[in-house]
Amino acid sequence: MAAPTAYALIATDLDGTLLRGDDTLSDRSLAALARVAGAGARHLVVTGRPAPRVRPLFDQLGSRGLAVCGQGAQVYDVGADRLLWSVTLDRELAETALGKIEAEVGQVYAAVDQDGVEGLTLIEPGYLMPHPTLPAVRVDRRDDLWCEPISKVLLRHPDLSDDELAATARSVVGSLATVTMSGPGTVELQPCGITKATGLALAAAHLGLGPEQTIAFGDMPNDIPMFDWAAHGVAMANAHPELKAVADEITLSNEDDGIAVVLERLFFEFMELDEFHGLGALQGASAKSGAVRQRPKGARGTARPAMTTPQTKDGTSPHIPQSAQ
């Protein structure tokens, strides 16, 4: 059965978006996603968390498809428990970037997410996990962070705000890495040119879908590239001002089932219209106002550079094997 709206792909961030503050999924959100799946649309988690840190959540979601993890650096096959595609952050470049940042702001505390489906989160002395429910291994010294390939570095500063730390990092890191801010206490360095849009585009292409069929939900500046790529971007009421500024719509908060509110409007009302008026009525209904606010299409904020497709070592564009499910 085809999805009843133009949105055949539902891309959702996790923390601050789909998940509540206690890392749980509400019954209403689960019911909305289940009904959307029944209507033929696909749900794709697009998260900053590395693949090993999301497996328990997929059990709750009943998902066995694809997920985008590690800020777009990993495309993860949930059912097979394997990475279909991943990009690592060069560890020497990461060390150099850290040195440049500390030369400007003084000591920062660092952690890393190791690559792979069994990768660990390692934290150096002084680093406090922003999500205390997520497992981490404390190491004795910073050099121990670089023992295995990594997908990203997480940074915290004892005094600077996240916005201040991210701004300074961007000003000095240059092409060594991409700097993102993905949540309270979460400024990150990831492979240069890699964003959530990178992984989302790869996963969507594997599913036979494109940006014009995608609606995206998020709450932080690291979701901006995803909003730029998707046809429609929905920011949560609790979202960072930078994301709200470029969103097409603002819904209720993650604690108030903001995603479910939008999905219920877009899918369930359309399904009822389809029953009574046929598919033609759905096109007119797609312009209905959002749960809180909708921005006229094309009225997003300052234009950003188009997403660049990452290259593999042999210079070709990456792809996901068609055999992956």
pLDDT in tens, 94-109: 999 999 999 999 999 9
Helix (H/G/I), strand (E/B), else coil: 299: coil
Q: How confident is the model at residue 320 (pLDDT cuts 50, 70, 90)?
A: low
Mean pLDDT (whole number) for 237-255: 98
- Burial code of 128-152, b = ≥16 C-beta within 10 A, e = fewer? ebbbeeeebeebeebeebbeeebbb
Mean pLDDT (whole number) for 221-226: 98
User: Residues with Cβ < 8 Å from 149, sequence gap 6 or more?
Assistant: 88, 91, 114, 115, 116
Q: For the chain, what is the mean pLDDT? A: 85
Mean pLDDT (whole number) for 24-53: 95
**Residue 324: is its pLDDT beyond 60?**
no
Which has the higher per-residue pLDDT, 308 or 17? 17
Name the helix (H) or strand (E) containing 273.
helix 269-277
Residue ranges and CATH numbers for the domains of the chain are 9-86+195-294 (3.40.50.1000), 91-190 (3.30.1240.10)
% of the chain residues with pLDDT over 90 = 74
Q: CA torsion, points 290, 42, 200, 58, in degrees to nearest 10?
A: 100
Mean pLDDT (whole number) for 118-133: 92
Beta strand 214-218 with 9-12 is parallel
Using CA atoms, how far residue 236 sits from 161, 250, 277, 318, in Å, is 21, 6, 32, 32
**Residue 18: is its pLDDT beyond 60?**
yes
